[in-house]
Chains A and B, each alone.
Chain A
Amino acid sequence: MAGDAVSARSPRRGSVVGWFAPVVPEARVAVLRSVLYAFVLLDVHLIIRSPIPLSRHPELYRPLDLAVLLHLPPPSLPLTWTLYVVLVLGCLAGLAGRAPRLVGWVVAAAFTWWVGIAFSYGKVDHDHLALVVALWVLPSVGAVPGGRWSRRASAQGGWALRCVQIGVVSTYFLSAVVKTRNAAWDPTTWPESYILLWAVVRRPHGLGQLLIPHPVVLQVMQWFSMAAEVSSVVVLWLRGWALLHAALFWLGFHVFTAAMLYIHFAPTVVCWLAFAPLERLAPWWRARHPLLVPPVPVPPRAALGRQPAGR
């Protein structure tokens, strides 16, 4: 924002504003943007790939509230193909770091529309929230000079990352809220139900089928996941090793549900990177893979002089 420099100030650490907009290295934003644009390219080919085939069947379409509110036209083949092309070109431009605000918001709008179309034919999934939030907030940081090598820090970057973190944590915490709400606010109904048994009977491929004869074990797992979802909010205040362990716990949770039920939640998992010190990635990589070409040509005599002794 051009106006941001008018009265320069940084939010105080420990203040509410400082929590919503901590000063963090912008290299984090640069790396996360690249990872997410690459992920969206995978997503449109591997995860949300129904918009084009479904747009042939207007008789099954029922618009989401968002489409009604914005008067979006019903999906058609020209529309979904256009969105697909915009997403592919936009992600490539995003990976190249071109016009980060313009390109970023075009990708955000196109991806939100794309996913919204996929969810307008019968089933809404809940694994894309953090990714959609990320695509909308990360462009607000604007250009990051130096990209992943940037030495600059900002509250602008910290705010964008905090919003992504809120999206990740909401996916878990609000899931516990809905399970309780649907049970007339009785928090014990869901953990004591037979929901996991129902899920593994329906998806008899993964490890879950081994647990079909043990419904009590499945209920213990339900209590455990409810407790984890309720306490997930704490992650927003963790730092250092505690944060690392919480992140590893949740990644483990997703590996487990993938093995058990074939449910991956990859779009949420990738957004866990918003908690990671990604600015260390480029220096770490360079330290292990030094440039092979010397910056100054080595004179032949000097090179000879470096031969090991004894030759």
Chain B
Amino acid sequence: MSAPDTAAETDGVDVRPISRWGLAWRVLAAVALVGLLLNGSVRMHDDAWPFGPMSQYAFFPGPDDTVVITRVYGVLADGQRVELPLRVDTAGIRRADVEGRIPAIEQDPSLLRAVSEGWSARHPGEPRPVEVSLVQDRQHLHRGRVVATDQVELARWRVTP
């Protein structure tokens, strides 16, 4: 991993020529790259990817905040409630994607069709859910410690063929 000094590296090797223009556009392109990336993190939002902000975990929960974990449950014809785990290999969609669409799902619960169809397609031997619901496990913090947990339902959709 140690990179030797440039002179040592190039001793006894053939150095490929480069034109003034070849160097100029490369330097300009690298400066533009740095500029776009800086601009992305200072001014833009996530939709500007790949030149958007590096906003992973860039927010600030307080000591009395509520930590939420989003889940989707299905109700089978016999009334049994099963969790439809939100991963690509189990439901065709990631939990983070569902979380990013919570307001839209609350407005239109039929968007949960993506989860129910994704789950059923990956579990052909299992009965299809007749109803699916979007819920959140909530863990309430007080002074930085979990003091209570509960669950709320955000949306419910009767599965239609």
Contacts and interface: CB of A to CB of B under 8 A. Distances in A.
Nearest to B11: A153
B61 interface: yes
A163 B30 contact: yes
B1 A171 contact: no
A163 B12 CA distance: 26
Interface stretch (A77-85, A242-250, A303-311): A242-250
B18 A9 contact: yes
B60 to A, nearest CB: 4
B98 to A, nearest CB: 7
Contacts, number: 263
Nearest to A154: B16
25 contacts: A20-B31, A23-B9, A54-B97, A57-B113, A64-B48, A122-B98, A122-B100, A156-B18, A163-B29, A175-B56, A179-B57, A181-B53, A182-B55, A189-B60, A190-B60, A193-B59, A194-B141, A195-B57, A195-B61, A197-B144, A202-B67, A213-B145, A239-B2, A275-B3, A277-B2
Contacts of A154: 15-16, 18
Given A59-B111, A65-B47, A241-B2, A151 B13 contact: yes
B17 A4 contact: yes
Contact of B144 (A65, A152, A194): A194
Interface stretch (B37-45, B75-83, B127-135, B153-161): B37-45
A296 to B, nearest CB: 27
B101 A60 contact: yes
Given A4-B17, A11-B23, A152-B13, 17 more contacts: A4-B19, A17-B27, A60-B104, A112-B50, A116-B49, A119-B46, A122-B96, A174-B40, A174-B54, A194-B61, A194-B141, A195-B60, A198-B61, A213-B145, A243-B2, A276-B3, A277-B1
Given A159-B30, A170-B37, A193 B62 contact: yes
Nearest to B26: A159
> Which of B33, B69, B111, B113 counts the most A-chain CB atoms under 10 A from its CB?
B33
Interface residues of A, number: 90
Interface of A: 1, 3-11, 13, 16-17, 20-26, 49-50, 53-54, 56-57, 59-60, 62, 64-66, 112, 116, 119, 121-129, 132-133, 151-156, 159, 162-163, 166-167, 170-171, 174-175, 177-179, 181-183, 189-190, 193-195, 197-199, 201-202, 212-213, 215, 239-241, 243-244, 247-248, 275-277
Contact of A123 (B54, B57, B68, B94): B94
Nearest to A171: B54
Contact of A53 (B7, B15, B92): B92
B139 interface: yes
Nearest to B27: A20
